[in-house]
């Protein structure tokens, strides 16, 4: 089964063609970072306008890369939510139009399920059930995953998502957007123990997260400093971001391992843009191996938004005969 997958939930226009939900024939992503950079975050109106410009060239490129004509596609998978409604609507309307015009089966996919499915693009995927951590710009959630379509949410952020915290701290220090990859790089030469930022754990047994207090602690640190951030010596910037990153990672690792222990599961899957973070990948593997747990993390390009992961989940549903009607709508929030 050859599936065309389309993803436009935030600021990346993505299209991919997958064979039997596993083999990537093409996977194209057009990033809008250069557009949103000067605002330090995604501007929804600009994001949807850019999707309109990019959707046809990106889908065309994906089909060309797969060496297939649209009529040779067996089904279409498209992100239906959660995300920015104006952005989702572009990919969704386009997918519905070609499904109608070419009489192809269509299925709407939950973006978070897409992230959790990205690991099946890798060579040695995990067996169900496993613990799935989704950490991105919009989400920080822990799930027990018993199969495609079988998710039990164990915890989620009560305020900011982890990626959002990375982006806000980078903006505060004038480092650029998106903040995650910049902080990841700068932290390598910083001292993670230089500043002891709080590790918000909420109640002892809670698997929920909270990152707004940590963000405020960084804001207060910057305010208490006699100079503005643009005059900080490079070493101070590196130490602030490295200490901040350490606090985020400490909490993510601790709670994910606790979830595995609570659920008596041996496998952990990381996903979402923040799972591209090199220190998080390393620390999760180290601490999990002490507990004899196996950690599975997609390659960084499958962690950040892409259409291939939407194709993996879409395939599972199309294969089972599931179809979405042409009345399919976009949703800013869409629980799994």
User: Which H helix or E strand runs over 252?
Assistant: helix 234-263
- If one asks whether residue 30 binds Zn ion (CB under 5 A), the answer comes out as no
Asked if the peptide bond before residue 168 counts as cis, ω within 30 degrees of 0, the response is no
Q: Which of 164, 167, 305, 316 binds Zn ion (CB under 5 A)?
A: 305
| Cα–Cα dist 111/139, whole Å | 10
Q: Is 174 left (phi over 0), alpha (psi -120 to 50) or beta?
A: left
Structure-token pair, residue 82 = 């959660």
- What DSSP string runs through 121-174? GSSSPPPSSEEEEEESSS-EEEEEEEETTEEEEEEEBSS--HHHHHHHHHHHTT
Stretch that binds Zn ion, among 11-19, 203-211, 257-265, 298-306 (CB under 5 A): 298-306
Total of chain residues touching Zn ion, rule CB under 5 A:
2
Size of the site for ligand KG4 (CB under 6 A): 20
Q: Are 314 and 3 in contact (CB under 8 A)?
A: yes
> Rule CB under 5 A: is residue 167 a binding residue for Zn ion?
no
Nearer to ligand KG4, 73 or 134 (CB): 134
Nearer to Zn ion, 293 or 297 (CB): 297
According to the binding rule CB under 6 A, does residue 118 interact with ligand KG4? no
The entry of Zn ion, ligand KG4, none near residue 129 (CB within 5 to 8 angstroms by kind) is none
Residue from 26, 32, 79, 136 binding ligand KG4 (CB under 6 A): 136
Is 184 a binding residue for ligand KG4 by CB under 6 A? The answer is yes
Sites of contact with Zn ion (CB under 5 A)? 136, 305
Sites of contact with ligand KG4 (CB under 6 A)? 10, 136-138, 163-164, 166-167, 178-181, 184, 272-274, 276-277, 304-305
């Amino acid at each position: 089964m050859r599936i065309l997958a389309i993803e436009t939930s935030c600021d990346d226009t993505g299209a991919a063609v997958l064979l039997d939900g596993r083999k990537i024939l093409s996977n194209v992503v057009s990033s809008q970072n250069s557009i949103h950079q000067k605002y330090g975050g995604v501007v929804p109106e600009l994001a949807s306008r850019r999707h309109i410009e990019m959707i046809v060239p990106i889908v065309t490129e994906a089909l060309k890369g797969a060496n297939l004509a649209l009529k040779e596609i067996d089904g279409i998978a498209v992100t239906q939510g959660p995300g920015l409604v104006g952005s989702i609507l572009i990919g969704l309307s386009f997918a519905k139009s070609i499904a109608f015009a070419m009489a192809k089966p269509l299925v709407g996919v939950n973006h978070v399920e897409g992230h959790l499915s990205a690991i099946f693009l890798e060579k040695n995927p995990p067996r169900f059930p496993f613990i799935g951590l989704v950490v991105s710009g919009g989400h920080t959630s822990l799930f027990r995953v018993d199969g495609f379509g079988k998710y039990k949410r164990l915890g989620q952020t009560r305020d900011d998502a982890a990626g959002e915290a990375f982006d806000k701290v980078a903006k505060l220090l004038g480092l650029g957007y998106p903040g995650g990859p910049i902080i990841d790089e700068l932290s390598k030469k910083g001292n993670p123990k230089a500043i002891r930022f709080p590790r918000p754990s909420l109640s002892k047994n809670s698997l929920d997260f909270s990152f707004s207090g940590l963000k405020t602690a960084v804001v207060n640190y910057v305010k208490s400093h006699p100079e503005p951030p643009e005059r900080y010596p490079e070493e101070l910037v590196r130490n602030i971001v490295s200490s901040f990153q350490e606090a985020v990672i400490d909490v993510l690792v601790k709670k994910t391992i606790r979830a595995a222990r609570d659920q008596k599961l041996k496998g952990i899957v990381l996903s979402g843009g923040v799972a591209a973070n090199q220190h998080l990948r390393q620390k999760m593997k180290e601490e999990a191996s002490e507990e004899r747990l196996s950690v599975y993390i997609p390659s960084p390009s499958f962690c950040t938004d892409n259409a291939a992961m939407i194709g993996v989940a879409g395939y599972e549903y199309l294969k089972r005969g599931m179809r979405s009607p042409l009345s399919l709508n976009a949703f800013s929030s869409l629980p799994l």
